[in-house]
Structures are given as C-alpha cells and as structure tokens.
C-alpha cells in the first residue's frame, strides 16, 4: 500500500464518528442507484461503502448488496447499523479489504463507485489495477457506475489557503456541537487535491476537542476515464452531468459514467 492510500484509510478511521451526521442530507444520489438496481438487479457491489449509506439503502429495497471498505472504523459503524436491522441481514453483507487485491465472492450485475470513491485511487497504475479487478467480477451484462465531481470546474479554481466553514452539526452519540471546516490546495500537474478537514467538537461544558484529518483526492477528466476504461476491457455506455441524467457539460456538477464489458471486434 502506498503512502496516499494509507492516508485515506487513516482519514476515514479518524472521522468515522462524524461521518453519518455530516452526510445526513446526502440523499440526492439514492434514487439514481435505486433506478439502476431496478434495471439491472442484484447482486450489487458497493466499493468504498463506508458506514453503509448506499449499501443499506439498496438492501432495504430488497436487493442483495456487498459493501467493501478498507477503513475498519467506518465498517464497524456499518455493521452496527446492520445488527439493528434484522430485516436487512439477508440482503446486506460488509467486507473489510483492499479493492485492489480483494477476492470478490461473486460476479456482480451492478458495481458502484459512489460519492467520489474512484478519487481515492491516486495513480494510473492503481486505477488500472482496480478496473482490472472489477472487470473480473462483473457479470457479462453488468454495469459499473462512476460518480465523480467535474474536474474542470474544481481544477480551474484558485488556491487561497482560506479556512472555510463547511457545516455545523450535532454528533448524535454525545450530543456535542461539531463545527466542520476545511482548507485545500491543488496540484494541477498531478490532478491531486489535498484537503485538510478540521472538526471542532464542543462539549456541554465548553471543552473543545479538535480533530485534524488530511485527505488527498485525484480528479479525473472525461476523456481520461474513457481511455482507462478501454485499456481495461470496458466501454462507456453513457456519460451524464447529474443524477437526473442531464448531458455532461463544462458546467455540470458531476461526471457520472456508466460502463460495461467492451465487445470484442
């Protein structure tokens, strides 16, 4: 494992206790995944499943879903949720492991890389290794789904080293107020965004607990992703700019790509 991958795992282990509260309102992609599941069926693989946001949503709709993540603290929270939902135990299964080497137990009709999951693979070598692994466990008529931000929009912004207030929320287990801030820098040559997240948790007696968690993400351009797909035996079926299916354009908030096995000529 390289240094950047280790930092990603350390980041999610550090912020796992905040993750669900800070993403409580991240619901806009769930109908999109529900529609894909209705079209393609199960089994479904959720890469970078975290605390089970997408996995458990689809399991609740009756689909059999496997969630994979390398951050143990995130998976512990996912498994805790599952233990409290007896109705989902036959549908959701969580695995701890590295997607680059994990021995996937099935061939999947739908493989999801939701909410920037592909950005955690920081080199072309890692990206190709991941895609090659996913091709090996993709059903013949299966679909791989990438959900990424629009790289052009973010990489065109200027670094200003300003600490930004992201949100405030209540950490449900303690009831403490959390103020979440961030500061980021861009390495445009490598298409890397280095973000430092700052969580200030304030207890009832006024004590402040600060968690500083760095994270690195790699942005991917549309043509670059198309080439990666082709190199790994995949073909793009569709490219969209949001979860409603709008065409991708320079002002699109998202780069959403659907891919499947490439037909041999």
pLDDT at residue 147 greater than cutoff 80: yes
pLDDT range class, residue 3, cuts 50, 70, 90: low
Please provide the size of the chain in residues.
265
**Of all residues in the chain, what percent are helix, strand and coil, respectively (each to 5)?**
30, 35, 35
The yes or no reply on domain 3-150+220-261 and CATH 3.40.50.150 is: yes
Handedness of CA 21, 57, 52, 101 (dihedral sign): negative
Structure confidence at residue 252 (pLDDT): 96
Structure confidence at residue 263 (pLDDT): 84
Average pLDDT over residues 73-93: 96
Is pTM beyond 0.85 here? yes
Residue extents of the structural domains in the chain: 3-150+220-261, 154-218
User: For residues 242 and 7, what is the distance between their CA atoms, to the nearest angstrom?
Assistant: 29
Structure confidence at residue 6 (pLDDT): 80
Average pLDDT over residues 162-175: 94
User: For residues 255 and 117, what is the distance between their CA atoms, to the nearest angstrom?
Assistant: 13
Fold that domain 154-218 belongs to in CATH: N-terminal domain of TfIIb (2.20.25)
pLDDT at residue 4 greater than cutoff 60: no
Structure confidence at residue 265 (pLDDT): 59
| Residue 243 to residues 78, 133, 155, 248, 252, Cα–Cα distance (Å) | 25, 26, 22, 11, 11
User: For residues 115 and 119, what is the distance between their CA atoms, to the nearest angstrom?
Assistant: 9
pLDDT digits (tens, 9 = 90+) for 201-211: 999 999 999 99
pLDDT range class, residue 156, cuts 50, 70, 90: confident
Q: What percent of the chain has pLDDT over 70?
A: 98
Structure confidence at residue 10 (pLDDT): 93
pLDDT range class, residue 2, cuts 50, 70, 90: low
Asked if 27 and 115 touch (Cβ cutoff 8 Å), the reply is: no
Contacts of residue 243, defined as CB under 8 A and 6 or more positions apart, other chains included, come to: 28, 29, 31, 32, 254, 256
pLDDT range class, residue 167, cuts 50, 70, 90: very high
């Amino acid at each position: 494992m390289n240094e950047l991958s280790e930092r990603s795992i350390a980041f999610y282990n550090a912020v796992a206790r905040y993750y669900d509260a800070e993403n409580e309102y991240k619901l806009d992609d769930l109908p999109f995944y529900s529609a894909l599941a209705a079209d393609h069926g199960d089994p479904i693989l959720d890469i970078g499943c975290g605390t089970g946001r997408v996995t458990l949503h689809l399991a609740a709709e009756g689909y059999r879903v496997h969630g994979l993540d390398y951050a143990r603290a995130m998976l512990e929270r996912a498994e805790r949720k599952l233990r409290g939902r007896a109705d989902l135990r036959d549908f959701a299964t969580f695995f701890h492991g590295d997607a680059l080497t994990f021995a996937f137990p099935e061939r999947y009709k739908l493989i999801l890389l939701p909410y920037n999951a592909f950005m955690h693979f920081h080199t072309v070598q890692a990206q190709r290794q991941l895609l090659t692994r996913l091709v090996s466990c993709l059903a013949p008529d299966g679909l791989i789904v990438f959900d990424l931000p629009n790289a052009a929009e973010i990489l065109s912004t200027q670094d200003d080293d300003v600490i930004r207030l992201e949100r405030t929320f209540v950490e449900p287990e303690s009831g403490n107020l959390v103020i979440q801030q961030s500061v980021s820098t861009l390495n445009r040559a490598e298409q890397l965004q280095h973000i430092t997240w700052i969580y200030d948790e304030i207890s009832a007696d006024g004590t402040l607990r600060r968690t500083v968690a760095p994270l690195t993400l790699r942005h991917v351009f549309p043509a670059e992703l198309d080439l990666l797909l082709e190199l790994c035996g995949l073909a793009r079926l569709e490219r969209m700019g949001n979860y409603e299916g709008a065409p991708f354009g320079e002002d699109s908030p998202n780069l959403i790509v659907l891919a499947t096995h490439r037909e041999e000529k």
